[in-house]
Structure 1
Amino acid sequence: MEIQSDRDYFFGDIGCWSERTEVHKAASQGQTSQLQSLILGGASVNVVAVDSITPLHEACLRGQTQCVRLLLDAGAQVDARNVDGSTPLCEASSAGSLECVRLLLERGAKSNPALTSRTPSPLHEACMGGKEDCVKLLIAMGANLEAYDIYYGTPLHVACANEHTECVKVLLNAGAKVNAARLHETPLHHAAKNKQEEMVEILVEFGANVHARDHHDKKPVDYTTPSSPSATCLRFYETSPMNLQQLSRLALRAMLETRALEVIEQLDIPKLIIGYLCYQ
């Protein structure tokens, strides 16, 4: 059993280094009685194992809500980072454990932890796995719709690349930028590559630019199979003007964003939260 050490911690104040401990194992396997006994016996809940993984990381990755609660009650650091920069909220979002996500947020977990070069945000993780309910909860708690990962782009890019149409709908309805680009590649490029006709239609209805060209100078339609439903759909949109519904939606979004900025200026709201207010 790992006992709290009195020496200075090698990893700051998160805990001492060790191999995977009994606390990690109990947390991962949902053994609440065993975990409680270990904690009462003096075991550190912030001890880190290989790759700086804490017991809280393991419990969240496995969706062990009761163990997560026990660890947090015992002082586990809610935003601890592993070697890749992932927080427990990232792990819970990846696993699609709605209860763990909710509990972590209630206990102060950051919905927008600072992104590193090696890890996406919790919202990226939820979109990657198609965890629609987690996506909704994270957005409701202020997750940045435009969080940018150098490998994946925005959460909308991730949802489209992984063919999660329901997540795409949630993101777009919450105000995600439909024409956000990574290396000039838009979410619509991903939808076209994956031959997702319904997703293509949804994106276009929300204002996706069918003429956008990526870093290969290709339009979305260039990634489709000729005569396929997605190709036919894109060709139609390329030659047809936007309908009244599309124009109205785009005009309303622009008006709401402009109005939000005016309110922000009048109330002298700090710039740090402008992005959040504009895209909710």
Structure 2
Amino acid sequence: MKMEIAGARPSFLGEIGLWAVRTAVHEAASLGQALLLQQLIQSGAPVNIVNLDNITPLHDACIQGQTHCARLLLDAGAQVDIRTVHGSTPLCNACAAGSPECAKLLLDHGATANPTLTALTATPLHEACIQGNVDCVRLMIAKGARLEAFDIYFGTPLHAACAKEHLDCAKALLNAGANVNAAKFHETALHHAAKVMNVDLIELLVAFGGNVHARDNRGRKPIDYTRPGSPPAFCLEFYEHTPLSLQHMCRLALRIKLGKSMVEMAFKLQLPYGILSYLSYS
């Protein structure tokens, strides 16, 4: 029996395939119905069929973290880096969904870790930071994701992590060598941390060398975005008026000198745990 593939009359879109409002393949992939999806594929259903937003079944599988379905689609020839109308790749979806399993599968099938940014989308690393998916953040870092990729809306992945108050993601980025003072319109991650009134983020960024005196395009310092008398204001006021300790300055100097290899080199030196923990900001 021939299965119904699309509920609307399809049209051809070049080499991408067919488009329809919604298909059985999309539904099966989204819901994790692996057996049904396999039957549809075997019956000749096109795996690269897209809806009006250029969303493929692979996009749907990844946004729901359906790794088994994603594997079936990829093995059947699904395009791994196809973009939606908003520019999102399946890897962006997997990272937004917090599925390192899906993300790793896509990367193993050749997905681009650093797709070209568009005006409507961010990189997979940005997506992981926005949603607070630290396992995906670590995976993307390990796969060579650019730490200073610049999204029009947020700025760098560190900006995104701080704007969304994801401390673990910010720490993973900083330990990997992200520039703590990278600026978007002169606005740093510390400005974002101040805006969301997050003391833990402020202290983390300062520990990594965040400049409490940096001014944005409105001439404002991070402290200017806090409420007078609030814990974040007291914290920033303290750092503005208290010189860094010699110990702290030595740690920052070592980090700047070693750059992204700082943590790796610290482990190779076989230093005592206390010193190693201090240098790696544990």
TM-score > 0.5, shorter chain as reference: yes
Q: CA deviation at 1:255?
A: 1.8
Find the counterpart in structure 1 of residue 79 from structure 2. Answer: 77
Which amino acid in structure 2 is aligned with residue 83 of structure 1? V
* Comparing 101-110 and 237-246, the one that deviates more: 237-246
Find the partner of 2:36 among 34, 37, 46: 34
Find the counterpart in structure 2 of residue 271 from structure 1. Answer: none
Which amino acid in structure 2 is aligned with residue 126 of structure 1? A
Which amino acid in structure 2 is aligned with residue 252 of structure 1? L
Find the counterpart in structure 2 of residue 231 from structure 1. Answer: 233
- Please provide the CA RMSD for this pair: 1.8
Which amino acid in structure 2 is aligned with residue 210 of structure 1? V
Task: State percent identity of aligned pairs.
Answer: 61
Whether the aligned pair in 1 keeps the contact of 2:47 and 2:76 (CA below 8 Å) is: yes
Find the counterpart in structure 2 of residue 277 from structure 1. Answer: none
Unaligned runs of 5+ in 2: 263-282
Distance in 1, matches of 2:5 and 2:15, equals: 16
Which deviations, in whole Å up to 9, do the C-alpha atoms of 1:212-251 show, x marking residues without a partner?
Answer: 1111111000111111111111111101112233322332
Other structure's SS at 1:43 match: coil
Which amino acid in structure 1 is aligned with residue 117 of structure 2? L
- Structure 1 residues 16, 245: CA separation in 2 closer, same or farther (over 3 Å shift)? farther
Which amino acid in structure 2 is aligned with residue 28 of structure 1? S
Whether the aligned pair in 1 keeps the contact of 2:161 and 2:169 (CA below 8 Å) is: yes
Distance in 1, matches of 2:246 and 2:200, equals: 20
Which amino acid in structure 1 is aligned with residue 65 of structure 2? G
Q: How does 1:237-252 map to 2 (within 5 A)?
A: 237-252=239-254
Confirm whether residue 137 of structure 1 aligns to residue 139 of structure 2.
yes
Whether the aligned pair in 1 keeps the contact of 2:176 and 2:260 (CA below 8 Å) is: no
TM-score of the two chains, using structure 2 as the length reference: 0.87
Find the partner of 2:5 among 2, 6, 27: 2
Confirm whether residue 165 of structure 1 aligns to residue 167 of structure 2.
yes
Q: CA deviation at 1:257?
A: 4.3
Confirm whether residue 209 of structure 1 aligns to residue 211 of structure 2.
yes
Unaligned runs of 5+ in 1: 261-280
Find the partner of 1:56 among 58, 66, 90: 58
Find the counterpart in structure 1 of residue 103 from structure 2. Answer: 101
